[in-house]
Chains A and B, each alone.
Chain A
Amino acid sequence: MVEFRVDRASGLPAYLQLGRQVREAVRLGRLRPGDRLPTVRDVVATSGVNANTVLKAYRELELAGLVEARQGSGTYVKATLGTAAPEVLEELRGKFAKWVIEARAAGLEAEDIDALVRAVLSGGPDGA
């Protein structure tokens, strides 16, 4: 089950935050194919998010092929994310954790690490 949390002070629209949380839950295995997402009414009542926001998030996930809406019964997780095998994922995580320790020792804060990761991912001048 996922419990949605919306950071109201974020510049990221709430529906994107919800979508991101579902993706994260799928990536970490907290949501598996066949699992049902909470109903729109439930998300509204528990998280204080507008029904339209939840619908928008679910529609976006559906378009991305991650979930499917079944008529009259709810929205279900359809696919998994990330193609790597669990043991490969575990190894990558270990290496990255070591790297983070190194980065912290060099005086980098979480925010600096974040910026560095984004720079490398976007292939900018600091990238690989």
Chain B
Amino acid sequence: MTVRVENVSKWALHHCSFELPAGSVTALVGANGAGKTTLLNILAGHLPADFGHVAVAGRVAFVPQDKPMYKGFTPLDVLKFGGHMNKVWDEYRAHSWLHRYRVPLKLRCGDLSGGQRAHVAFALALGSRPDVLLLDEPLAELDPLARRKVVRDLLAEVADTGMTLLYSTHVVAELGGVADRLLLLSDGKLLVDGDTDELLGEHLEIVGPAADEPPVAGEVVLARHQQRQSSFVVRCPESAVVEEPWTARPVTLEELVVAHLEAAA
């Protein structure tokens, strides 16, 4: 495991525990104020946990959501600064990211667009050759096309270097095939921690006649009742069989996340 979090508490966070294997890509999802940024700051070593223990193997790079940067620096200055501040520095890797996204190298960062500043921050983080890369809302400033490209390029960086990637996001609809793990936080508590493929296999939406209980054994995540119809989102073994008059269908990641958040609200 490259990242191990044991029973960590801090401000909104309550007793969070999870592990991230090396080379994994994990999406950290949750409502605003759920504690995502606090968690990332603790992992980055910027905040001490009040309780519990965090272990991160190797070099860590963290890109905060607001991408703080000296406004008078040009992207070239930023990379030069990165070269001085990091014992391990990959100038080529940092430069190629800026080149790929056509970031003007000699403008002041204060004059760059939000998206361009984000790329300077990504380049700086990648240049430090991290074993663990932590990104807080990396896709927030990017348009849909740029989001795809950045996700593609980040996944290629993961494939090339074997680094571990943890990023927070609200864009749950775009996680399929991208994140192999999902961490779902609500109100400081970890609601879901698992392999996205397994989670998809385990969750079913079951609809049928009005009933108090679903027709399969498992954890009822969410139940909705109308006069003549009940529907349940259930977490059950993949082999569960649903018989007439009930019908079952797999849920999407977005539905899964929404069901858990709604149930916790």
Contacts and interface: CB of A to CB of B under 8 A. Distances in A.
Given A44-B156, A51-B155, A6 B177 contact: yes
A128 B252 CA distance: 32
Contacts, number: 78
A52 B158 CA distance: 10
Contacts of A41: 156, 159-160
A48 B176 contact: no
B251 interface: yes
B152 A48 contact: yes
Interface residues of B, number: 31
A98 interface: no
Interface string A26-56: 0000000000000011001111111111001
A32 B253 CA distance: 34
A12 interface: yes
Interface stretch (B11-19, B73-81, B196-204): B196-204
Interface centre among A6, A10, A51 (most CB of B within 10 A): A51
Nearest to B254: A9
A127 B168 CA distance: 47
Interface of A: 6-17, 40-41, 44-53, 56
Interface of B: 23-25, 148, 151-153, 155-156, 158-160, 173-180, 196-197, 200-201, 249-255
